[in-house]
Amino acid sequence: MKRIGKSPWLWIVVAVVGVVLVLQFLAPSGDGDEITSSEMTARIAAGEVKTITFVDGDQEIRATLDEGVRDDGAEVMTYWIGGTQSRLYNLAQQQVENGEIEELTTEISRPSVLSSFLISFLPLIIIFIVFLWLLNNMQGGGGRGVMQFAKSKAKLISKDMPKTTFADVAGCDEAIEELGEIKEFLQEPAKFQAVGAKIPKGVLLYGSPGTGKTLLARAVAGEAGVPFYSISGSDFVEMFVGVGASRVRDLFEQAKENAPAIVFIDEIDAVGRHRGTGMGGGHDEREQTLNQLLVEMDGFDVRGGVILIAATNRPDVLDPALLRPGRFDRQIQVDAPDLAGREQILKVHSRGKPIATDVNLISVARRTPGFSGADLANVLNEAALLTARANGKLITNEALDEAIDRVIAGPQRRTRLMSEHEKLITAYHEGGHALVAAALPGNDPVHKITILPRGRALGYTMVLPDSDKYSQPRSQMLDQLAYMLGGRAAEEMIFHDPTTGAGNDIEKATNLARAMVTQYGMTERLGAIKLGESGSQPFLGRDLGHSRDYSESVAAIVDEEVKNLLATAHQEAFDILEENRDVLDALVLELLDKETLDKEQIARIFEALRMRPARPAWTGSETRRPSAMPPVEIPQEIRDRAKVNGAPAAPEATEPGAVVTPPGAGGDVHGGPATPGDGPTPPTPPAPPGPGAP
């Protein structure tokens, strides 16, 4: 019914019917019963008419008959046909002269001024009303007329909406603590004012997608107990110039009238991008909106009580004026959760789901390093869907394992039938990855190998860390380069002809090698120097022709060093496979038989593996000789203190948890280091003014 009511055709039909009815009502109607013109002529000739009136314009004859002549009433009327008027009028005039008709009159039909106006302009008025109604619907309806397009579209969170509290948020304790202080400030301002503390004007939440930024904002709305306005950054800018700035003014005006209040802008990078970065750097609509936002956050209007919370996964593209203290006083990074955080998130999302008793969520958390909160929620949801598909009642470990694989590499492609030869190539390819990864001491453990097609991959090798890691030494990067190229080396060694399956491996290895050369300074020839810009402002108008800040000769050296790293890693992987050909063949036979191997099965096959020794020390120069003295021993007191504070027992510094990603066509999936630029970088405040600056 609502859909029918919103249809414009229904209202157009109603308008047309209304016009017809009005015109019918306004049209002049005759007095008395209508009779035929021949009957009227006969009654005039018989002398039965008492009075008669001719109305010119309407071609109407109204007459009053003698009493008793007609049983249905004396008042009658009829219309004449063109050419008969003079004959009827002469006949009536003759009857007047004979004394049969008492009165003969004539009239000219003239409609009233009101009826003439309505007949002329009513259709135009109705068409205009229908047009306004259509424009109103185009602007979103809901009481927001066409003339209200400049009003803010922010939604006020009401008490009737489902409430999200901090208890529903897990894995980001630091962000909850910071935002909890905002809530406390709004509820007990005197506590902070007593020590001279001012309420923060803005809080910026930034981090990778799916880490819970919007969820944190919803939790603040549920906990604050003050008016909470929510709007998306893209809602400010629409089809009219100046609308964004007007909506910003209206939003803050509403919030100030209901202060203290909280305003949440999701995806603020839609309006907060660095000014002057477009093609030509013109003053466009987005910049007008940003300028108005800057003024509202820290302008001459001293009325306070409005806290702005913004979320973005691109803090590097925001304007520096937006990030300074006084606007966004707090900038909170919402990272991917650690092991304890992942366990808490799994507990939150497992509420209401029938989990089997033998399922240990901490083990699931260990198998999902690098997963965001959204990824973990998706894992549990996929496990529930798989359980329902199998008509099960409890979510088991098998369902969770399959759900993790589906989130990492996509659903299994059971309809893709591979030939035995292709299976053999895939088995050697994945076996090469796994064997090289296991033979080098700096690589993470091999968790799973499969040759079953899944997603876009013909098979994949899952190499994941057992614990969360946050940095990575050079030796581990070299080990990773070797294992990334292990699949290509196995194809070359066994079949003497490589396939396209190594396309994704080569891409990842090249990115890592180039980062080692240009960003981490891990080559002797170039040394510890940062080459190239990070691309934090990827706009055509800002970085056009400035993406590289080094000469052509240095670029040639960079390419040469990248090539040397990859060639050395490729040869190392080939040599490892030659040394362990028997283990590789045993692994391939087991893969062809079982198609999927878990961590325990892989470890049993690799018992005969010949391990490579640890790499020697590297300082990048012959003049910098490493010290023979080991690092200091961590006192037991500090170890105990770290355990109390929740720190991991083994204080090892290694790389962040690697998340396997789908490859290109024909490639395999395996873990890799987080390449620079993949995640958001923290916003940098503007540089302080130099000497002599005002």
Catalytic residues: 430
Nearest to 492 by CA among 505, 508, 480: 505
Nearest to 452 by CA among 398, 484, 401, 414: 414
Residue with tokens 């304790």, as numbered in its chain: 173
DSSP code for 395 = B
351 class by beta-carbon count within 10 Å (0-12 exposed, 13-18 middle, 19+ buried): exposed
- Identify whether the C-beta of residue 44 lies closer than 8 Å to the C-beta of residue 95: yes
Q: Which helix (H) or strand (E) holds 203?
A: strand 202-206
Distance CA 432, CA 438 (A): 10
Phi then psi for 9, rounded to 5 degrees? -65, -35
Distance CA 605, CA 26 (A): 98
Pairing of strands 49-56, 103-108: parallel
**Largest Cα–Cα separation, the chain:** 148
Residue 380 tokens, joined: 């549990």
Residue with tokens 């001719």, as numbered in its chain: 54
Q: Under DSSP, is residue 130 helix (H, G, I), strand (E, B) or coil? A: helix
Residue 553 tokens, joined: 């000769």
3-state helix, strand, coil in the chain (%, to 5): 45, 10, 40
Residue 433 tokens, joined: 């990855």
Q: How is the beta sheet containing 49-56 ordered, strand by strand?
A: 33-34, 75-79, 60-65, 49-56, 103-108
Distance CA 647, CA 643 (A): 5
Pairing of strands 330-333, 306-312: unpaired
Is the preceding omega at residue 441 within 30 degrees of 0, hence cis? no
- Own/partner contacts of 78-86, CB < 8 Å, gap of 24 or more, are 78/34, 78/35, 78/36, 78/37, 78/39, 78/40, 79/37, 80/37, 81/37, 84/37, 85/54, 85/59
DSSP code for 669 = B
C-alpha 640, offset from chain centre: 44
